[in-house]
Amino acid sequence: MASTQQKSSLALYALTLGAFAIGLTEFIIMGLLPEVAQSMEVSIPMAGMLVTGYALGVAIGAPIITVATHKMKRKELLLFLMILFIAGNALAALAPTYSILMVARIIAALTHGSFFGVGSVIASELVPKENRAKAIAIMFIGLTLANILGVPIGTFIGQAFGWRATFWAITAIGLIALVGIGILVPKVKNHPSSLKNELSVLRQPAVHIALLMTVFGFGGVFTAFTYISPILVDISGFSPKSVSWILVLFGAGITLGNIYGGKLADRALIPSLIGILAMLTIVLALFSITSQFKIPTLITVFIFGVFAFATVPGLQLHMLNTAKEAPTLASTLNIAAFNLGNALGAYIGGVVIDLKIGGGLEAVSLVAALVTIFGILFTIWGGMQQKRKLTNPSL
């Protein structure tokens, strides 16, 4: 029994390593936004579109790759995705123009949804049913570590040696992750499922509601977080070199949030999601005020991190519960929804800044709170739909 648990733990850690590499690629742009903008001679909002481009690459590419590779064995698929990930980041490091950098970001993004989608399914199957959200949270700790360790260090490297050096470092981490997955992740048998059965989830209203829960529940996070670096520098008055260390606070917050969010989701899924989103809304609204003062900013950034990622295990588990007959595609679609929320948030934040709505940068976090309120409403709707489905399984 102990041997089985040990193997399961090693497999989860291997998935965490891959999640760390992919998460670092996604989030590092936020820490290097000014440097990339200056190097590529584009505006901050235009550089922010690299976040949007990545997110859209996940949202559009994830279901396409999942359908195209649905017959592949899961381990082989993970290895293929990591190779594609490495290629995308190497191209980003070499990109001579903004357009090529955008293409490189999209190539790397194609791996994101399928990796986390397949990884979530594997993680949930490696443990007893009552620990499924916790197992998913362990895998997603890779994302939190990417923030608490990867982004600050990557930002420091980018500021000291140029942002291209950061992407070369990510490429190297990708290679290590590739080896780790090849050695530690066992060959997992795919559950028999036809393409028709997988695609059938797209006709379920409950799945559509679950996707909207994720898009808006997480979209508010990136409305603010995409522009965290200019907020900290231009509004709070911190030096650019301080940003990487302040992001450590955010990373510490999301580590705690991810762990305890998973535990809460295992106990009471929908109620915990509603409560966490409500707290996130309050924190984002307060950030529009506290960001003007240094000490309150540091406190708020940490608390923001806690509630930003506490929703992730619950939202992913809710999707797995909603579409049990096609978990791989449904899980991947939900990862795409996370990134569609990222894209929506980055776009909304950029519009607020460009049009100077409510003062521009100063109003970004307040607008982020408004986006999160929609996430609460869809979550309430999703909970009602879930209750109806329990009483009438034919729905």
Lowest-confidence segment of 278-292, 335-349, 373-387 by average pLDDT: 335-349
Q: Average pLDDT for residues 164-172, to the nearest whole number? A: 93
Segment 184-189 shows an average pLDDT of 72
d(CA 251, CA 258): 10
Which residue has 């996070």 as its token pair?
221
Name the residue ranges covered by the structural domains of the chain: 2-391
Cβ atoms 393, 213 nearer than 8 A: no
User: Is 1's pLDDT higher than 50?
Assistant: no
CA-based nearest residue to 31, from 305, 304, 242 = 242
Sorted by sequence, the CB contacts under 8 Å of residue 64 that are 6+ apart come out as none
- Taking the C-alpha atoms of residue 328 and residue 279, their distance in angstroms, rounded to an integer, is 31
Tell me how far apart the alpha carbons of residues 255 and 279 are, in angstroms, rounded to a whole number.
17
The separation between CA 182 and the C-alpha centre of its own chain, rounded to angstroms, equals 23
Interval 190-204 mean pLDDT: 65
* pLDDT at site 390: 61
What integer is the mean pLDDT of 81-91?
Answer: 94
Q: Where are the alpha helices (DSSP H) in the chain?
A: 2-40, 44-68, 74-94, 98-125, 132-145, 151-161, 163-184, 195-199, 205-225, 228-230, 243-267, 269-290, 294-309, 312-322, 327-354, 364-391
Higher pLDDT, 76 or 378: 378
pTM of the model: 0.73
Q: What is the average per-residue pLDDT within 205-215?
A: 90
Q: Write the CB contacts of 325 (distance below 8 Å, at least 6 apart in sequence).
A: 193, 197, 200, 201
pLDDT tens sequence across 226-273? 888 889 999 999 988 788 788 888 888 888 888 888 888 888 889 999
pLDDT at 335: 81
The rounded distance, in Å, linking the Cα atoms of 110 and 202 is: 20
pLDDT tier at 395, thresholds 50, 70, 90: low
- Whether residue 2 is predicted with pLDDT greater than 50 in this model: the reply is no
Determine how many CB atoms are found less than 10 A away from the CB of residue 164.
Answer: 18
Amino acid at 50: L
d(CA 183, CA 204): 38
Contact predicate 168/24, CB 8 Å: no
Neighbours of 286 (CB within 10 A): 18
Average pLDDT for the chain: 84
- Annotation: CATH topology of 2-391: Growth Hormone; Chain: A; (1.20.1250)
The answer, yes or no, to whether residue 115 has pLDDT greater than 60, is yes
Distance CA 172, CA 149 (A): 16
What whole-number percentage of the chain has pLDDT above 70?
Answer: 91
Q: Which residue has the higher pLDDT, 366 or 53?
A: 366
pLDDT given at position 245: 81
Residue in this structure with the two tokens 């190097």, named with its chain if needed: 39
pLDDT score for 394: 54
Contact criterion met (CB below 8 Å) for 12 and 136 = no
Q: What is the pLDDT averaged over residues 136-141?
A: 80
Distance CA 250, CA 48 (A): 19
Q: Tens digits of per-residue pLDDT, 275-312?
A: 999 999 999 999 999 999 999 999 999 999 999 989 88
User: What would the pLDDT profile of 14-41 be if each residue is shown by its tens digit?
Assistant: 888 889 989 889 878 877 888 888 889 8
Q: Which residue has the tokens 């295992």?
A: 266
Other CB atoms within 10 A of residue 267 CB: 10
Tokens 């291997």 locate to 14
Q: In the prediction, which pLDDT does 278 show? A: 96
Report the pLDDT value the prediction gives residue 203, as an integer from 0 to 100.
76
